[in-house]
Amino acid sequence: MLNILVIGSGGREHSIGKKFKESDKVGEVYCAKGNPGMASDGIKLVDIAEDDHEALIAFAKENNIDWAFIGPEIPLMAGIVDDFEAAGLKAFGPHKNAAMIEGSKDFAKNLMNRYNIPTANHQTFTDYKAARAYVEAKGAPIVIKADGLAAGKGVVVAETLDQAVEALKDMLLDHAFGGSGASVVVEDFLDGQEFSLLAFVNGEEVYPMVIAQDHKRAYDGDRGPNTGGMGAYAPVPQIPQEMVDKAVEEIVKPAAAGMKADGNYFRGILYAGLIATKDGAKVIEFNARFGDPETQVVLPRLTSDFALIIDDLLNDRKPVVTFKEDGYTLGVVVAADGYPGSYDKGAKIPDTTKLVDSTAIFAGVANDAEGKLVANGGRVYLVFAEGDTLKEAQEKVYNELNDLKNDGMFYRTDIGAKAF
Ligand code: AMP
Ligand code: GLY
């Protein structure tokens, strides 16, 4: 039996832990720090911070953990996989050097250039005047990205030249994103629908997952500020399979092979954020981990054993990776009022045990003094359902979600709409 330690505390990690628990090869699933909403799925919470590698390693040793699964990017960037290995333990996710594919936009762009991976034309700047001249020559719409991790807030899709110049000022003169704003990538605006193509990767070996579409803006109709993601569905019927197959061949495989050739062997989940342009799929970003909320709709569609896949990859065996071919999965995020700006904590989480056709996955929740779940983060929970059609999945989620009391929280009412 495998004993697993999941690192992270959001909805993504709840989904990951829940999927591991489905395997009859799995004993205990621990999650550090996790959240109290996970407990009802049998996941055991471990009160150790995700940046306390030493304490996590000690816990793993004491509890006969076979391997750790790293959910978020921050510990990957901090070298948690390197530290586990140095202590003689296994952890799934890229090493620090390979996590750079997410951690530095410049690193990712460089890789894409050298291996002819389709992406937006771009240039990197550290000098405000030079960046401003380039942006003025290019015109709007144009995209400005802070280099380095900025928790999803480092990207400005400028619709006007004024907005673009403002963003350059923020990032290069005012250092609005701290150290991560020291250089910016300015890139062409790509027109088309977004989709997320995730794959299990071990060096050159690539095992693609079913594609998903996230909804990054806070409000209906893709209005409002960018967020971590307000809902997702999988698969994405309006993206032709041909385009997906081509993206695997021309984007994911060369990226994995290129990382290996460059001495940045990647073992983990490679997430390609793509735009379906009229000239085919092009990359807007790579992530070195599962997406949130994509995971919550992709993993329920996995029909082979998730824990065995990870165990195989960690032991350089070829895993069996299969997904449901019929139907759709759709999930809607419920967020605290004010998110992604400052938001209140403490809103009561409705009784999700009443859900019949849908399932709740928890993220920013805590227990109050009486042991009841209350909101404690920006994205609070997600409700997902499966259906024979996307419409059916969507109706199942909204029918039940609309009946729950979500005071102090909000959600988009149009998740999935771009497919119709
Ligand atoms: P990122 O953090 O790189 O995922 O960017 C956040 C969001 O900005 C993406 O989800 C897209 O909606 C948008 N975006 C980023 N780059 C581009 C681009 N080159 N063209 C159009 N939209 C983009
Ligand atoms: N849902 C977008 C991300 O996880 O980066």
pLDDT digits (tens, 9 = 90+) for 177-229: 665 557 888 999 999 999 999 999 999 999 999 999 999 999 999 999 889 99
Q: Residues 148, 155: contact at Cβ < 8 Å? A: no
Determine how many CB atoms are found less than 10 A away from the CB of residue 370: 6
**Among the three residues 314, 349, 373, which one is the final residue of a domain in this structure?**
314
Ligand 2 lining (C-beta closer than 6 Å): 214, 228-229, 287, 291-292, 294
Q: Is residue 136 part of a domain?
A: yes
> Which atom of ligand 1 lies at the shortest distance from residue 284's CA?
16
Ligand 1 lining (C-beta closer than 6 Å): 120, 143, 152, 155, 157, 187, 189-190, 194, 216, 226, 273, 284-285
**Which of 26, 23, 36 minimizes the C-alpha distance to 5?**
26
Q: Is residue 48 part of a domain?
A: yes
pLDDT for residue 281: 98
Ligand nearest to the CA of 292: 2
pLDDT for residue 177: 65
Domain shared by 176 and 272, yes or no: no
> Which atom of ligand 2 lies at the shortest distance from residue 214's CA?
1
Q: Ligand 1 center to residue 125 CA distance, Å?
A: 18
Q: Is residue 160 part of a domain?
A: yes
Give CA–CA dist 258/252, Å, rounded: 10
**Residue 293 belongs to what domain range?**
193-314
pLDDT for residue 180: 54
pLDDT for residue 175: 74
> Which atom of ligand 2 lies at the shortest distance from residue 285's CA?
5
Q: Is residue 348 part of a domain?
A: yes
Domain shared by 341 and 412, yes or no: yes
The dihedral region occupied by 33, where left means phi > 0, alpha psi between -120 and 50, and beta the remainder, is alpha
The sign of the dihedral angle between the CA atoms of 193, 224, 154, 234 is negative
H-state helical runs in 42-187: 53-62, 73-77, 80-86, 100-103, 105-114, 128-138, 161-168
212's CB contacts (< 8 A; 6+ apart) are: 195, 196, 198, 232, 233, 234, 235, 236, 291, 294, 297, 298
Domain shared by 212 and 231, yes or no: yes
Q: Is residue 215 part of a domain?
A: yes
Ligand nearest to the CA of 232: 2
pLDDT for residue 154: 77
pLDDT digits (tens, 9 = 90+) for 235-279: 999 999 999 999 999 999 999 999 999 999 999 999 999 999 999
CATH number, domain of 386, equals 3.90.600.10
Q: Ligand 1 center to residue 194 CA distance, Å?
A: 9
pLDDT for residue 149: 57
Domain shared by 295 and 197, yes or no: yes
Q: Is residue 271 part of a domain?
A: yes
Number of residues written out for the chain: 420
Ligand nearest to the CA of 298: 2
Residues of the chain falling short of pLDDT 70: 148-153, 176-181
Residue whose Cα lies nearest atom 13 of ligand 1: it is 157
pLDDT for residue 182: 73
Domain shared by 10 and 61, yes or no: yes
CATH number, domain of 232, equals 3.30.470.20
Record the tokens describing residue 419, joined without a space.
């497919």
Tally of structural domains, the chain: 4
**Which of 62, 30, 67 minimizes the C-alpha distance to 315?**
67
pLDDT for residue 361: 98
Q: Ligand 2 center to residue 137 CA distance, Å?
A: 31
Ligand nearest to the CA of 147: 1
Domain shared by 253 and 337, yes or no: no
pLDDT for residue 6: 98
Q: Is residue 245 part of a domain?
A: yes
Domain shared by 206 and 251, yes or no: yes
The amino acid at 110: N
Q: Is residue 104 part of a domain?
A: no
Residue whose Cα lies nearest atom 2 of ligand 2: it is 291
Residue whose Cα lies nearest atom 5 of ligand 2: it is 291
